[in-house]
Structure 1
Amino acid sequence: MPFNGHVVWITGASSGIGRALALECARRGADVALSARREEQLRAVAGEVRALGQKALVVPCDVTEEAQLEAAVKQVVDHFGRLDVAVANAGFGAIGTIEELDAETWRRQLDVNVVGLAQTARCALPELRKTDGRIVLIGSVASMVTLPNTGAYSASKAAVRSIGEALSMELKDEAVTCTTIHPGLVESDIARVDNTNTPDPDRRDPRNAALMWPTDKAARVMADAIEKRKREYVFTGHGKVMGFLCRHFPRVMHPVLANFSR
């Protein structure tokens, strides 16, 4: 049980990758603290964690509120006595062309996906130093593969990648490590949240269902990467291929992606 006796705190834990990773960590022996804005969904996930024989703590939290993040870390440590892994997973995707998206939408996108993620790491690090722990940042293959109408989201995930690289270098002389994970297409509710970061269950998911990984499979490879303290990890297979092609053959991929999106 690689995480036996460890405490894992996950933001954005009410659904999708966050929920699946919470359950996978519990299967590997961890007690789990769950944060998101939707408390009812968090309590349902907590019940699933407890059914696996591990302890769960519900800590409702909005990552755009710095004071709430600080209070969440304190609550986790007060309850469990330690923090071993902090997963900055909370995020959403604003959709629209650069011409369409107003400044408020841009600020909301970056406030959640970039500032909220960075402050999650900042608030957790003092406690992670006490346990030689791990900080985990959830990026996206979108940081390497940009499509029309996803400029704001891709920009936010490119920032996450830069934050992960900087943090890894800043921690080079410490036992604490940073792992930045870039998922490809994974089943989640991210496409069913509107540009105000409000759940919209009627919103159509435009992603290719045939390419999407189930969340439990994604959680397994993510947990493996966290366990091994990898600096950066990209999945799925199509995500790795597309990232490679866009990095090394941009003149070929640019018109292909532009036409594919239409």
Structure 2
Amino acid sequence: MSTGDSVVLLTGAASGIGAATARAFADNGWTVYATDIESEFPDDIGERCRCLELDVTDEAQIAAVVDQIITETGRLDCLVNNAGYGVAGPVEDVSPDAARKQFDVLVQGPHRLAQAVLPEMRAHGGRIVTVSSVLGHTASPGLGAYSAGKAAVESLTDALRIEVAGADDVHVSLVEPAWVETGFADGALGSLPDEDRTPTYDGTYDALEDGWVLTGGPLTTTPEAVAATVLAAATDTQPKARYPVGAFATFVRWTHWLPARLQDPIHRGFGRASAFLGRWLR
């Protein structure tokens, strides 16, 4: 795919993976519309990209942003769905309202955006790239609500990829990292209840607060590695359906094929061992 005058709309671009992705596209000559629910962007993003405020749960605002891009540039070649956050905690302790709000961002956000950009892409071709997670395939104790959202957006994206294939030059891909060095863990920790914790899940809370279930510990990858993968999904001549980021993400993804009697002890053991190491290394 030629990138000479190409235009990308990127959500969740004010920090972390989104900011790294905005830089990667700008480095490769794209016109970057960097959007986020937050109106403040890093200085270099503001200098190199066209920054707009966008709440992916607001259908009217999405339509206005897409219309603005097409009016200003006459095209829209790629949508990168990156906006998201994590609600952590055992399923029994996570409020349905918190899970629903997260689902609205992780799943309905990409759905709304796809509906908004597809008419333009159908006419001229384009790419839709959604930043998902290996947790869309393999759930982790304490991240059930987040894993459910990622599993849903994986299914939605798979269906969309099949639906648009063939007659139109539109391609749809998923990028699937494991842990990434961003503020995700801090945000997810902030969602944990301070009180009314079900005692049965003390070990799960230990794994979230002291272990590597949220942070990944030494197993993390960089936002730049994810950004490079997103750029590949946007530019590969023959884009793949899925792009795991790094060897560990590939390993975690394929553990999904193990029977539950093997998967479950691995997840429990990882949480307990990492919580012990996390406390010991402090």
Runs of 4+ in 1 over 6 A off after TM superposition: none
Counterpart in 2 of 1:210?
218
8 Å contact from structure 2 (residues 41, 51) kept in 1: no
How many matched pairs?
250
CA RMSD of aligned residues (A): 2.1
8 Å contact from structure 1 (residues 186, 212) kept in 2: yes
In the alignment, residue 253 of structure 1 is paired with which amino acid?
Answer: Q
8 Å contact from structure 2 (residues 82, 131) kept in 1: yes
User: 1:257 Cα shift?
Assistant: 0.5
Q: Which runs of 5+ in 1 are unaligned?
A: 51-55, 198-202
Mean CA deviation greater in 184-193 or 57-66: 184-193
In the alignment, residue 252 of structure 2 is paired with which amino acid?
Answer: M
Alignment of 1:104-143 (within 5 A): 104-143=97-136
Instruction: Give the match's secondary structure for 1:160.
Output: helix
Find out whether 1:259 has 2:269 as its counterpart. yes
8 Å contact from structure 1 (residues 83, 127) kept in 2: yes
8 Å contact from structure 1 (residues 125, 135) kept in 2: no
User: 1:94 Cα shift?
Assistant: 0.4
Counterpart in 2 of 1:97?
90
In the alignment, residue 241 of structure 1 is paired with which amino acid?
Answer: F
**Quick one: structure 1 residues 195 and 211, their matched pair in 2 at CA, closer, same or farther if it must change by over 3 Å?**
closer
In the alignment, residue 183 of structure 2 is paired with which amino acid?
Answer: D
Alignment of 1:78-97 (within 5 A): 78-97=71-90
Q: TM-score, normalised by structure 1?
A: 0.89
Mean CA deviation greater in 106-115 or 226-235: 226-235
Mean CA deviation greater in 36-45 or 222-231: 36-45
Counterpart in 2 of 1:185?
179
Find out whether 1:171 has 2:179 as its counterpart. no
Q: Which runs of 5+ in 2 are unaligned?
A: 192-208, 273-282
8 Å contact from structure 2 (residues 127, 170) kept in 1: yes
Mean CA deviation greater in 181-190 or 87-96: 181-190
Provide the rounded CA distance (Å) in 1 between the counterparts of 2:156 and 2:224. 27
- Which digits, 9 at most, give the CA deviation of each residue in 1:1-28, with x for residues without a partner? 9522100110011111111111111111
Instruction: Give the match's secondary structure for 2:105.
Output: helix
8 Å contact from structure 1 (residues 59, 75) kept in 2: no
Provide the rounded CA distance (Å) in 1 between the counterparts of 2:37 and 2:190. 14
